[in-house]
Amino acid sequence: MTADSSLTAPGVEYAATASEAYRAALAVIESVEPRIAAATRKELADQRDSLKLIASENYASPAVLLTMGTWFSDKYAEGTIGHRFYAACQNVDTVEALAAEHARELFGAPYAYAQPHSGIDANLVAYWAILATRIEAPGLAELGAKNVNDLSEQDWEKLRAKLGNQRLLGMSLETGGHLTHGFRPNVSGKMFHQRSYGTDPETGLIDYAAVAAAAREFKPLILVAGYSAYPRRVNFATMREIADEVGATLLVDMAHFAGLVAGKVFTGDEDPVPHAHVTTTTTHKSLRGPRGGLVLATEEYAPAVDKGCPMVLGGPLSHVMAAKAVALAEARQPAFREYAQAVADNAKALADGFLKRGARLVTGGTDNHLVLLDVTSFGLTGRQAESALLDAGVVTNRNSIPADPNGAWYTSGIRFGTPALTTRGFGAAEFDRVAELVVDVLKNTEPAAASTGPSKAKYKLADGVADRVHAASAEILAANPLYPGLTL
Ligand code: PLP
């Protein structure tokens, strides 16, 4: 596999320097609360010792991680660049402007907003920016007012009712959509009348004709594309055509696959940024930055997105915006393209490894960074499979599959992602070995009865399997160390 760029920056004695920095930092923390220092050391050890296959996780570089531990954490900076509600924000302005500039350049977006603290915040900013642009602004104009504070109590109530009476069409949860795409447990489901589109029951793929038919019938204000657990690429040009036909705003949530967009694996119709009116993302998944969110927008939506604070957000996390700038700078390096391509190639190798060992995959494979394994073919629920794999040091998460017979809690699937282990240096051969180890665990796991009757959580992993898989994975992990040379 390609050497990783940002974790082993060429020509930089990063390992010795980062080791020194972390040793000093942990000594300082230890002097105040030793248990936190101990948990921090243990977290690194645990991450080093396990096969991290959670599709939404990664390993950020020491540069990104170190950037978060600074005095920017102490600064309030409500408002936006050059227009703050607090004094002395000149350095935060520098940081936020750099994060936005890197994001614009990397993704080719006219405008970028670096303040959202997470993916859910980014989506909330996007939803309210769309509502502000398409409902609030024309509503104010109709009433001859410039500002919501100029409205009478009665007019304000009318406008509020209109804001709360809009429609959103997004991908269903069980076919891979995300909670923030209009589902009732999330605030997005309470804000909007929601309908979902699913996938073709035969192929498992998005049926664009069905999406178009649902859009014509439902006439949403917002069409959401993007997913958390769909193992295929999306044609965003087609999604935009559907949105345009019904007068919807196209919002693409690329939280999961932003790294593949940044690394130019997804181009043309598969690159959401030129097609969407608004694109949201997290920065910590395949993009390999700090935990956080970003919003990209066209000129039309930029002014409303720029009011994310105070519309939805409070004071920005300036230390995290600084780390976003560092991570985005890393993602602009040529080596990130190699990384992103390897993430996709490795997902294929993992999928092929499962298929040749007889496992069933949702959609029959992958062409992005994730693989969704149907574990009913092993006679297991997702919950049983997830627990047995964890016993063997394989960290994954259970996930619904389309028409899931076991519901959203126990589920029937396991989602695997390649971004994290690709960062460690795993290539196709290592991912084939991972598939072999996973199948070994699942073939040797049986559902077990609970004392009160059958349980979808209880399982029995055959003796010796966990040890065997631990030993095999220890070998591959040792050959592909996490943060090579970093010693605490
Ligand atoms: N959108 C999608 C598609 C996601 O997969 C996720 C997280 O899993 C989010 C949004 C929310 O991100 P966060 O956990 O940073 O709020």
- Identify whether 202 is part of a domain: yes
Q: Which atom of ligand 1 is nearest to the CA of 226?
A: 3
Q: Which of 54, 282, 284 to mutate to test the pocket of ligand 1 (most atoms within 8 A of CB)?
A: 282
Of the three residues 298, 332, 366, the one that is the final residue of a domain is: 332
Q: Is 282 an active-site residue?
A: yes
86 is known as an active-site residue: no
Could you tell me whether strands 293-297 and 111-113 are parallel, antiparallel, or unpaired per DSSP bridges?
A: antiparallel
- Ligand 1 site, residue 171, Cβ cutoff 6 A: no
Residue pair 479/48 in contact (Cβ under 8 Å)? The answer is: no
**Residue ranges of the chain with per-residue pLDDT less than 50:** 1-6, 9-11
| 285 catalytically annotated | yes
Q: Which of 249, 279, 281, 282 is catalytic?
A: 282
The CB of 289 under 6 Å from ligand 1? The reply is no
Q: What are the DSSP E strand ranges found in 23-172? A: 51-52, 79-80, 83-84, 111-113, 167-171
Residues 440 and 404 in one domain: yes
Please identify which of the residues 291, 332, 337, 360 carries the catalytic annotation. Answer: 291
56 lines ligand 1 (CB under 6 A): yes
Asked if residue 354 lies in contact with residue 385, where contact means CB atoms within 8 angstroms, the answer is no
Retrieve residue 269's tokens. 């119709």
Pick the last residue of a domain from 287, 311, 332. Answer: 332
282 CA to middle of ligand 1, Å? 6
| Closest to 371 measured CA to CA, from 174, 176, 207 | 176
Residues 401 and 359 in one domain: yes
User: Any known ligand binding at 179?
Assistant: yes
Centre of ligand 1 from the C-alpha of residue 272, in Å: 17
Residue 430 within a domain: yes
Task: Determine the pLDDT at residue 132.
Answer: 98
Q: Which of 117, 175, 178 has most ligand 1 atoms within 8 Å of CB, for mutation?
A: 178
Find the catalytic residue in 78, 300, 338, 436: 78
Residue 292 sits in the same domain as residue 386: no
Residue 420 structural domain: 342-479
Residue 293 within any structural domain of the chain: yes
Looking from the CA of residue 284, the nearest atom of ligand 1 is: 15
CATH (domain of 371): 3.90.1150.10
120 CA from centroid of ligand 1 (Å): 6
State if residue 346 touches ligand 1 by the CB under 6 angstroms criterion: no
CATH number of the structural domain spanning residue 83: 3.40.640.10
The torsion of the CA quartet 398, 368, 327, 73, rounded to 10 degrees, works out to: -30
Residues 361 and 314 in one domain: no
Domain final residue pick, 301, 332, 363: 332
Same-domain pairing of 449 and 364: yes
Same domain flag for 302 and 174: yes
- Let me know if 270 is a catalytic residue: no
Classify residue 184 by burial, with Cβ atoms within 10 Å: 0-12, 13-18, 19+: exposed
- Ligand 1 centroid – CA 235 distance (Å): 21
Residues 215-218: contacts with CB within 8 Å, 24+ apart? Answer: 215/169, 215/242, 215/243, 215/245, 215/246, 215/248, 216/245, 216/246, 218/167, 218/169
Q: How many CB atoms lie within 10 A of CB 401?
A: 26
- Residue showing tokens 């009348």: 193
By most ligand atoms within 8 Å of CB, the mutation choice from 58, 115, 120 for ligand 1 is 120
How remote is the CA of residue 286 from the centroid of ligand 1, in Å?
A: 12
In a domain, 102, yes or no: yes
CA–CA separation, 418 and 286 (whole Å): 9
pTM of the model: 0.96
Q: How many angstroms separate the alpha carbon of residue 177 from the centre of ligand 1?
A: 10
41 catalytic, yes or no?
A: no
111 is catalytic: no
Is any ligand 1 atom within 6 A of the Cβ of residue 120?
yes
